[in-house]
Structure 1
Amino acid sequence: MAEKLYGGAYLSSFVRAVLDNLSKILEDESILNGNYSSLELLQKLEKCLFEVEAVLDDAELKQFTDKRVQKWLVDLQDALYFADDLLDQLSTEAAMAATQRDQDISSYCASVVDSYIEGSGDIEYIVRTLETVVARKTYLCLKEGAKVDMSWRIPSTSLVVSSDIFGRDKDKEEVIKLLLDDTRHAQSALTVIPIWGLGGIGKTTLAQLIYSDAKVVEKFNTRAWVCVAENFDPIALTRTILQKISPASSFINDDFDSLQTRLKEALTGKTFLVVLDDVWHDQKDTWEHLLKPFQYGNRGSKILLTTRSEKVASAVATTELHYPLGLLSDEDCWLVFLKQANLSTDSINPTLEKIGRDIVKKCDGLPLAAQGLGGLLRGNSDVKSWKLISKSEIWKLSDDKIKVGPALRISYYYLPSSLKKCFVYCSLFPKDYEFDKGDLILLWMAENFLQQEGEQTPEEVGDEYFEELVSRSFIQPHKTEENTFVMHDLMHDLAMMFAGEFCSRAEEHEKAVQQISIKTRHLSHIAQEDYPISKLLEVCDRVKHTRTFLEINLKRWMAFKVENTPCNLLMSELKYLRALSFKSIGLELLPDSIGELIHLRYLNLSKSNIVTLPESLGRLYNLQTLKLYRCKRLKMLPDSMQDLVNLRHLDIKETDLNEMPRGMSKLKSLQFLSDFVVGKHEGNKIRELGALANLQQSICITRLENVVNSNEASEARISDKDGLDHLSLYWYRLSVDFQNEEDVLDKLRPHSNLKHLEIEGYGGTAFPDWLGHFSYDNITYITLSGCENCGVLPSLGRLPFLKNLSISSFEILEIVGVEFYRDEESCLETPFPMLETLCFDSLTCWKEWHLMGLNAFPQLRELTIRFCRMLRGDLPNYLPSLQSLELRIARSSIVVFQELLCLPN
């Protein structure tokens, strides 16, 4: 991310996005040769955007101390939203007109712009408003080309007073152990140890403590402390390190090669410790060049590095050497607070102590927050004052935020512009909300926050943004739930602070929804029975320009029953929506007016009671995401679906669709299609999948019994879809044409990148050769179920990385024989070398399990055999890794035969 080193104004990415949209219109020759007044207005708009872009960095910094600049940025953002909506409408209407007539979009762009100007004065008003706002930059003395400036930050030094530090003794000893340990990476003369964690958590303080420790001083005969900050210049950094190591020498005019050579000479024969404090740069190749001279020191030399980003840590060191720094305990934060408040445990009275401890809890383990609050109350022993702070959300008040969270402000300030918008957007969700990464990225995409470079897809950019926010601790992995993320409360407060009037959560205005700002562009509402959505109708006219409406259900197991009318009215009022979610509510009907939301990019109706969708859905030209997960009453999708040419994500898992709509092959932008229900008619057969070349992640293909000609399966081109790692193939009824089903499965051969395969209801008598072929070395999970005509299992033992295998409901299978382990082509000496779980279930005719000596299943941890009543003979008698064995004969009984096995203690 090119912006990373220098941060970026919050509105910079927005201005660039608006300019990009405008440029696409102005580049159209029909505009240049069309109505002069139209061209003149658009050029005025462009001039405003260029002028304002130049002063945004200066305004970003001045807003913290100048309320006039802060208000100017609010007015500017409001005007930009209006301009962006206008341009989106113009380009969308031109594109829709061109698509309907199957012609080039340039044929319609000028006519749409001209007709819009003639029929409405909005564009003139929008341009005039923006011009007025931009003109105010002169009175505010905003400078052009101002860069993010670190001068107001005090550079770190190696000096620290250890008596001021609390709660870091264990961390100090652990890192010192790493510094003194010369056995790790013994083949290299240099070891880099990164300390990383949240801004303000105490990384620099910890490094200072370590740097001055007696054992460290004794170990390293040469030491240097360098505050790197965000201005990462390899030449300047090398020169600074040299000056620290050889203070009497001068290297001012040396080039990079000379500096590196001199640094090599200065370090040769020395055991050194260099601390690089506050590092932001994460390009591995740059680091490799920079660190070359350090390889010439004595073995045992170390670099200790502090950073806010795990990505930086990974660029400079292996994971085993990372030292992630955690938050302080409440007790340690209390000691920090007392120190800053100039109090001691002996001098503070019990009343103030009780209030003070409540205040410290609000710090959530962040040392700088405790310091700020302690400093705020220094010399103040008035109970009333302490209570006032304790009962108020101090960090939500602008004056107090500077005191409470300077570290968080700094972390935010130096985020790239595009990441700032993504982070602030998260303020729409309540505290402790559990984020789904994929869904959040789709919302960012709908809001046009993702700036693509080169051939990157928006989804790839979103993944990069998300991981960057996680690595900087703005978003954190959930402690117990895999693939789930949360936001620290202080980070949530920070997001809310910078969201200002533009993001609103309805529950914040529960008693007076009229307080929701007229500038609101992103609105969320928590589904709860005592606060119905109908309340929001009172403010629809105030928030008619909102771009986001998210219905959030915190009780995921419960769907709130709502009236359709309020939801329909809400949709009809909010014409500028880009993201709309009525997830987890009892919505039964989607009105035809949905087709009027031409700006809409994201529509989520998951878990609703929708039965059908209107044909007007096809008018949503910009729609990128349609989520219908667990709409269990949904029977059909409209044929107009084929017109959604920009659709990228369609989730129809756990619906009751009988078949797909016609023309799915036209949706060539699709990146994710959860399910494809094979139809019987031209236009919805399996061959429609052939044109969807960019499918990623997973797909479930159902009703494969409708494929009556196996050539249609070939036309689906499943083997070409290298982005699919999860494939499920379902037949809902057995066919009498065994040979056709075998041919169909053979021609649905997936790409070798596949990791997860499910086959259910297959009616053939044998499996194709590709199933179990050793070339599928990425497969880790297979389940075969309901294959009632199969009497022989495929050769799955030759899959080198298969970890989980389940085989169930094979009606005629009698013998699990040698073919299960290997075939003539197998090059694996050990069958099932990585298999960890194996389950046989409901194999009603299974009688014999032919075993393969002592070398099969070396990693098997769990073996389950259920309802296989005919099975006789031995089980495997040597499973060295087995931890769980379940033998279930009837539903009410479990028999465990551990005495038959050589189990480890």
Structure 2
Amino acid sequence: MSANLEGGAYLSSFVDAISKKLSSILENDSVFEGNDSALELLLERLDDCLCDVEPVLDDAELKQFHNERVKKWLVDLQDALYLADDFLDELSTKAAIDPPRDPDKLRLKESAKVDFSSWRIPSTSLVVSSDIFGRDQDKKNIIKFLLDDICTAESPVSAIPIVGMGGIGKTTLAQLVYNDTKVVGKFGTRAWVCVAENSDPVNVTSTIIEAIDSCPCNMNNFDSLQTELKRKLTGKTSLVVLDDVWHDERDMWENFLKPFQYGNDGSKILLTTRSEKVASVFADTNLHYALNLLSEENCWLVFLKHSSISTNSKEYETLEPIGRKIIEKCKGLPLAVKTLGGLLRNKYNEGDWENILQSEIWELSEDKSKIVPALRVSYHYLPSHLKRCFVYCSLYPEDYQFDKGELILLWMAEDLVQPKENDTLENIGCAYFDELVARSFFQPFSKNGKLFVMHDLATFFAGKFYFKVKQFDDPHKIDSKTRHFSCSKIYVNSTKLFQEPYIGAVRMRTFLDWTCPFHRSSVDIESDSRLLQQQLRCLRAFSSSIFTKLPDSIISELIHLRYLNLSNTPIVSLSESICKLYNLQTLKLRNCDKLEMLPNSKIL
């Protein structure tokens, strides 16, 4: 799929999808059987509204950044679109389940259509060296420190923090060092840990053990984990990378570091962080390695690589001066350069490059989110359908390693993948995904190409329609407009997921629980089924391993459900009502060791 530089408003593809669904319903006689003309009139009015709204969406998307009224209008419009989509989905599902009595009679209605043509680089120990420019000296400096056996009297292990702003290349530098042959030969025990949001000592210690053993660690007791880590480090020369550290609680990190006292002299900890305060918890200020911005010439080399513009091409002479002006606006940030290079990949038209250079998005002031203008520009020029797919990924925990195939299934469940004639939804979703990779919004995590990571830009554009729980003592309540929910916090009392402040959204479309099943209790929700019927009845995608059973009273109401993942649950049997879920596309039951019986009913 070739990149489309024209972009498109975030809501444009949503409006288009609803228009197509509405047109299909208006053509279906069975929808109106047994109803008076009021329903048809309502749907025709909705069709007119959608046609009126679509042309102004591009203008509204730009104006929302400096006009609060426009921003509120877009929020209210998106809420209304979700409501309309739920209503239309219910109508079309019921019509499909109850086929028309007179299939030969059609009531076709011409409907106006708009043709839409066809985005934190985080933690992995893998790196392609040919992609890196301008970090040779930084690499040599860090390696020199790591190979030095000098240590302090207090501890045989010493730490060096790589400090710098987001997108400057801290993780990339750590990757280069971690995979250097001299470093590999020096340290018999190595572990790479992405810290980010999951900074609690239990999780970090468990992840280190898993990295050393190359297999899952099922312990959740901190004392047991520390004892096990001590055993693995004793008498070993180790290197542990703590990537993307945010929290600066000195007492917490001092407790975490105790097992490292038993390693050999010369053991090292290398960490990356944006904060000098965090760095000071691990090392004296004179040991902080401040990473500088890339030079303009190195930025240009990165840009050339990702835009695929050859210096020998006939267009180079024309495009080079424009490209160098674009590079100046990136202010030495490699991530910004890569992203804009991906945006212009295989684009040889001078007008496309001028559009990027002259975009008014550059002039928008940076707000509290600290989103780099270059990243905003790249997001702005995404086609509408890719914007929605990318923003959906804001549900992932920071630095989460997600599976390509799994994400495509979730996109399909949310109707983010629009069908095309003679092609499967999976293939279309794969094309969406590959284009986001080409634009550097997704980054490969594994060599086999199945796992990816992403920048945290998606969270900025998600707004109140997406809610990600990081900690259960957060006083902020979920918004009534929230449609997509995820939980990434390790917790013990799973019932908190269905208590205040997390039950405010009664039209939830996505419920995803990313926490490890070994670290929480299970929940029998039958006693709370009435509450959950209201809370979960609009679900398209549901994934969690905390339930012991899902009653018929709940399953039978989930007529919108497309994706159901009950992997790792202690569930014994599946509800017969699952066979009545007409829209269900994906059912996952991996590692359900106690499952004894599947439903016997015939699937619709």
TM-score (norm 2): 0.58
- 1:633 has 2:600 as partner: no
Higher relative contact order (CA 8 A, sep 6+): 2
Q: Which residue of 1 aligns with 2:126?
A: none
- 1:526 has 2:526 as partner: no
Matched-pair contact (CA < 8 Å) for 1:510–1:531: no
Q: Which residue of 1 aligns with 2:8?
A: 8
Q: Which residue of 1 aligns with 2:20?
A: 20
- Partner AA of 1:505 in structure 2: K
Q: Which residue of 2 aligns with 1:73?
A: 74
Matched-pair contact (CA < 8 Å) for 2:486–2:513: yes
Superposed CA deviations along residues 566-602 of structure 1, whole A, max 9, x for unmatched, are 796364232111111113x3x2212102111101111
Counterpart mapping for 1:260-275 below 5 A:
none
Distance 1:206 1:630, change over 3 A: same
Matched-pair contact (CA < 8 Å) for 1:595–1:616: yes
Counterpart mapping for 1:159-178 below 5 A:
168=134
- 1:484 has 2:451 as partner: yes
Identity %: 44
Q: Which residue of 1 aligns with 2:280?
A: none
Matched-pair contact (CA < 8 Å) for 1:582–1:606: yes
Partner secondary structure for residue 368 of structure 2: helix
Structure 2: 5+ residue stretches without partners: 109-113, 118-132, 138-166, 170-292, 304-310, 327-336, 349-361
Give the CA deviation at 1:528.
2.7
Matched-pair contact (CA < 8 Å) for 2:391–2:462: yes
- Partner AA of 1:635 in structure 2: E
> What is the CA–CA distance in structure 2 between the aligned matches of 1:414 and 1:632, rounded to whole Å?
47
> What is the CA–CA distance in structure 2 between the aligned matches of 1:440 and 1:567, rounded to whole Å?
32
Q: Which residue of 2 aligns with 1:467?
A: 434
- Partner AA of 2:578 in structure 1: L
> What is the CA–CA distance in structure 1 between the aligned matches of 2:368 and 2:71, rounded to whole Å?
16
Q: Which residue of 1 aligns with 2:367?
A: 399
Matched-pair contact (CA < 8 Å) for 2:493–2:521: no
- Partner AA of 2:62 in structure 1: L
Give the CA deviation at 1:505.
1.1
> What is the CA–CA distance in structure 2 between the aligned matches of 1:454 and 1:279, rounded to whole Å?
42
Matched-pair contact (CA < 8 Å) for 2:9–2:383: yes
Superposed CA deviations along residues 869-890 of structure 1, whole A, max 9, x for unmatched, are xxxxxxxxxxxxxxxxxxxxxx
Q: Which residue of 2 aligns with 1:360?
A: none
Distance 1:29 1:205, change over 3 A: farther
Counterpart mapping for 1:326-405 below 5 A:
399-401=367-369, 404-405=371-372
Distance 1:424 1:36, change over 3 A: same
> What is the CA–CA distance in structure 2 between the aligned matches of 1:527 and 1:572, rounded to whole Å?
24
Partner secondary structure for residue 499 of structure 2: helix
Superposed CA deviations along residues 638-686 of structure 1, whole A, max 9, x for unmatched, are 122522xxxxxxxxxxxxxxxxxxxxxxxxxxxxxxxxxxxxxxxxxxx
Matched-pair contact (CA < 8 Å) for 1:279–1:307: no
Distance 1:562 1:58, change over 3 A: same
Give the CA deviation at 1:168.
3.7
Superposed CA deviations along residues 277-317 of structure 1, whole A, max 9, x for unmatched, are 4999xxxxxxxxxxxxxxxxxxxxxxxx998466975899x
Distance 1:94 1:531, change over 3 A: same
Give the CA deviation at 1:436.
1.1
- Partner AA of 1:631 in structure 2: C
Q: Which residue of 2 aligns with 1:582?
A: 544
Superposed CA deviations along residues 539-591 of structure 1, whole A, max 9, x for unmatched, are 565211110111112x36x26322212796364232111111113x3x22121
Give the structure with the larger helix fraction. 2
Q: Which residue of 2 aligns with 1:551?
A: 513
Give the CA deviation at 1:462.
1.0
Give the CA deviation at 1:36.
2.9
Q: Which residue of 2 aligns with 1:408?
A: 375
Matched-pair contact (CA < 8 Å) for 1:434–1:484: yes
- Partner AA of 1:421 in structure 2: R
Distance 1:169 1:613, change over 3 A: closer
Q: Which of 424, 439, 463 is the equivalent residue of 1:500?
A: 463
Partner secondary structure for residue 16 of structure 2: helix
Q: Which residue of 2 aligns with 1:50?
A: 51
Matched-pair contact (CA < 8 Å) for 1:504–1:520: yes
Superposed CA deviations along residues 743-802 of structure 1, whole A, max 9, x for unmatched, are xxxxxxxxxxxxxxxxxxxxxxxxxxxxxxxxxxxxxxxxxxxxxxxxxxxxxxxxxxxx
- Partner AA of 2:44 in structure 1: Q
Superposed CA deviations along residues 793-848 of structure 1, whole A, max 9, x for unmatched, are xxxxxxxxxxxxxxxxxxxxxxxxxxxxxxxxxxxxxxxxxxxxxxxxxxxxxxxx
Q: Which of 556, 560, 568 is the equivalent residue of 1:599?
A: 560
> What is the CA–CA distance in structure 2 between the aligned matches of 1:476 and 1:591, rounded to whole Å?
40
> What is the CA–CA distance in structure 1 between the aligned matches of 2:501 and 2:105, rounded to whole Å?
40
Matched-pair contact (CA < 8 Å) for 2:302–2:338: no
Q: Which of 430, 434, 448 is the equivalent residue of 2:401?
A: 434
Matched-pair contact (CA < 8 Å) for 2:22–2:47: yes
Distance 1:466 1:451, change over 3 A: same
Q: Which residue of 1 aligns with 2:578?
A: 617
Distance 1:206 1:607, change over 3 A: same
Matched-pair contact (CA < 8 Å) for 1:534–1:566: no
Counterpart mapping for 1:271-310 below 5 A:
277=323, 308=340
Partner secondary structure for residue 400 of structure 1: coil
Distance 1:495 1:207, change over 3 A: closer
Give the CA deviation at 1:512.
2.6
- 1:447 has 2:448 as partner: no
> What is the CA–CA distance in structure 2 between the aligned matches of 1:84 and 1:445, rounded to whole Å?
15
- 1:421 has 2:388 as partner: yes
Distance 1:275 1:499, change over 3 A: same
CA RMSD in angstroms comes to: 4.3
Distance 1:16 1:226, change over 3 A: same
> What is the CA–CA distance in structure 2 between the aligned matches of 1:565 and 1:210, rounded to whole Å?
53
Distance 1:404 1:471, change over 3 A: same
Q: Which has the larger radius of gyration?
A: 1
- Partner AA of 2:318 in structure 1: V
Superposed CA deviations along residues 48-80 of structure 1, whole A, max 9, x for unmatched, are 001001111111111122221111110100011
> What is the CA–CA distance in structure 1 between the aligned matches of 2:577 and 2:107, rounded to whole Å?
23
Give the CA deviation at 1:451.
1.5
Superposed CA deviations along residues 383-416 of structure 1, whole A, max 9, x for unmatched, are xxxxxxxxxxxxxx97234x64101111111111
Distance 1:210 1:603, change over 3 A: closer
> What is the CA–CA distance in structure 2 between the aligned matches of 1:79 and 1:416, rounded to whole Å?
22
Partner secondary structure for residue 523 of structure 1: strand
Distance 1:105 1:476, change over 3 A: farther
> What is the CA–CA distance in structure 2 between the aligned matches of 1:406 and 1:511, rounded to whole Å?
30
- Partner AA of 2:368 in structure 1: D
Partner secondary structure for residue 226 of structure 1: helix
Matched-pair contact (CA < 8 Å) for 1:90–1:109: no
- Partner AA of 1:602 in structure 2: Y
Q: Which residue of 2 aligns with 1:226?
A: 318
Distance 1:438 1:73, change over 3 A: same
Superposed CA deviations along residues 175-231 of structure 1, whole A, max 9, x for unmatched, are xxxxxxxxxxxxxxxxxxxxxxx99997986476899xxxxxxx99x996434xxxx
Partner secondary structure for residue 71 of structure 1: helix
Give the CA deviation at 1:28.
2.4
Superposed CA deviations along residues 129-183 of structure 1, whole A, max 9, x for unmatched, are xxxxxxxxxxxxxxxx9x99xxxxxxxxxxxxxxxxxx84869xxxxxxxxxxxx
